[in-house]
Amino acid sequence: MKTFWDFCAPIYDLAQKIKGKTYGEMLKIVRNIIPQGATILEVAAGTGEISVAVSDKADKILCTDLSEKMLNVARRKIRKRKIQNITVENQNIFSLSVADSSFDVVIASQVFHLLDCPEIAAAELKRVAKSTVILPMIFTKNLKGSAKFAIGLYKLFGFSPKVELIPAEFEEFLRKIGFDGCKIIPVAGEIPMAVAVWGKGN
């Protein structure tokens, strides 16, 4: 069955541009967090934009998503840029085919508000992370103007978040799903974002 994410795969990268400088700033923050030579797992990676953006800092990256059409876009992007250290696989965030503590850094961007059982996915990411989980998030609640229009358009085509947040609610949301003690880095913009960083041992 074709999902919303399959449908929007060809235009997903273009749609990310509605976040403007905010998305680019988020990528910079994520890059700065990742230590040189890290092993990285990205889940719900979509078209692999984050994996590509941090590939020069990584030893190896496993880029995963449930939508094969999204992953096909990621594969084309990786081939075009001749990136050698990214492997692309179809995997489910709730049951990853990955050993415990097998990646230095795990990245899950803009996904937990879309899940029926985010606490199960959170436990799975904590299981496979050796040290750090990075959680970029977009906030779609109480938007105004063109930002509200853009998200409304997404919803017309099937975008259906289970939870919508404002920045002030993010820390409590993370705590409820099992990510206690996150450092949260705000990313200002018309559609605001933040990057949460959880360290193993928290």
Q: Give the residue ranges of DSSP H helices in the chain.
A: 4-8, 12-16, 21-33, 49-54, 68-80, 118-128, 145-156, 170-177
- Is 50 among the domain residues? yes
Q: Is residue 25 part of a domain?
A: yes
* 71: its two tokens: 């992953």
Instruction: CATH number of the domain at 29, please.
Output: 3.40.50.150
In tens digits, the chain (202 residues) has pLDDT values of 457 677 666 666 666 665 568 888 999 999 999 999 999 999 999 999 999 999 999 999 999 999 999 999 999 999 999 999 999 999 999 999 999 999 999 999 999 999 999 999 999 999 999 999 999 999 999 988 877 877 787 787 777 889 999 999 999 999 999 999 999 999 987 788 999 999 987 6
Confidence (pLDDT) at 159: 79
Q: How many CA atoms lie within 13 A of 151 on its CB side?
A: 17
Bridge partners of 62, per DSSP, are 41, 87
| Number of domains comprising the chain | 1
Q: Is residue 187 part of a domain?
A: yes
Structural domain for 118, as ranges: 4-197
Query: What whole-number distance in Å separates Cα of residue 103 and Cα of residue 60?
Result: 9
Evaluate whether residue 163 is within a structural domain.
Answer: yes
Laid out side by side, the sheet with 38-43 consists of: 86-90, 58-65, 38-43, 103-108, 129-138, 193-199, 183-187
Separation between Cα atoms, residue 131 and residue 200, nearest integer Å: 5
Query: Is residue 202 in a domain?
Result: no
Q: Tell me, what's the pLDDT at 116?
A: 94
Residues composing the chain? 202
Rounded to two decimals, the pTM is 0.92
